[in-house]
């Protein structure tokens, strides 16, 4: 089993972010995750069994102004993981867990300061870990943790990406 949970985010206006920090974030959140998944996935497939849990984010389900590159990276993780879930079926189970806000220190590192209105959506890391493992062992392709988070992702199906971006920006400012 591999749990690919390493990552960090950057928040704020994209054009004010340091290019080197952006590169480091994308290297870890996309390239390193892909390389580790390839390395261990290949070994698991050769054995004919294994489980990989990838950690995305609620940010993967909508355009995220002020978290633009991070949200795009997490969208990559979601799309990548679900594609591999199908491609490796019968050999390796790949599951993507998508938490929303958690109290992990992520916000301090990323510079993201959630508004009080977002606090009810915070989910404990232990709940996210348990939900991710449960979904992985059940053979699911993905799981979104938290009722508010699931509702948010579901409701995005009924609005344009532009409207999602505008609403997310308004809530984040």
User: pLDDT, tens digit, for every residue of 1-58?
Assistant: 999 987 888 989 999 999 999 999 999 999 999 999 999 999 999 999 999 999 999 9
State pLDDT tens for residues 126-139.
999 999 999 999 99
**Across the beta sheet with 142-144, what order do the strands follow?**
2-4, 51-55, 93-98, 142-144
Higher local confidence (pLDDT), 114 or 55: 55
- For the entire predicted model, the pTM comes to 0.89
Looking at residue 114, what is its pLDDT?
60
Superfamily of domain 2-172 in the CATH hierarchy: NAD(P)-binding Rossmann-like Domain (3.40.50.720)
Report d(CA 17, CA 111) in Å as an integer. Answer: 11
């Amino acid at each position: 089993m591999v749990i690919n949970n390493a990552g960090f985010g950057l928040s704020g206006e994209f054009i004010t972010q340091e290019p080197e920090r952006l590169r480091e974030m994308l290297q870890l959140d996309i390239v390193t995750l892909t390389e580790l998944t390839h390395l261990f996935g290949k070994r698991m497939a050769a054995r004919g069994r294994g489980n990989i849990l990838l950690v995305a984010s609620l940010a993967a389900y909508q355009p995220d102004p002020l978290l633009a590159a991070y949200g795009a990276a997490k969208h990559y993780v979601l799309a990548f993981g679900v594609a591999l879930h199908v491609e490796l079926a019968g050999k390796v189970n790949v599951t993507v867990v998508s938490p929303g806000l958690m109290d992990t220190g992520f916000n301090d590192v990323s510079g993201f300061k959630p508004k009080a209105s977002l606090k009810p959506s915070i989910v404990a890391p232990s709940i996210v870990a348990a939900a991710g493992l449960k979904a992985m062992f059940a053979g699911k392709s993905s799981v979104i943790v938290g009722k508010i988070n699931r509702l948010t992702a579901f409701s995005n199906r009924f609005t344009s990406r532009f409207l999602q971006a505008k609403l997310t920006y308004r809530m984040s400012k």
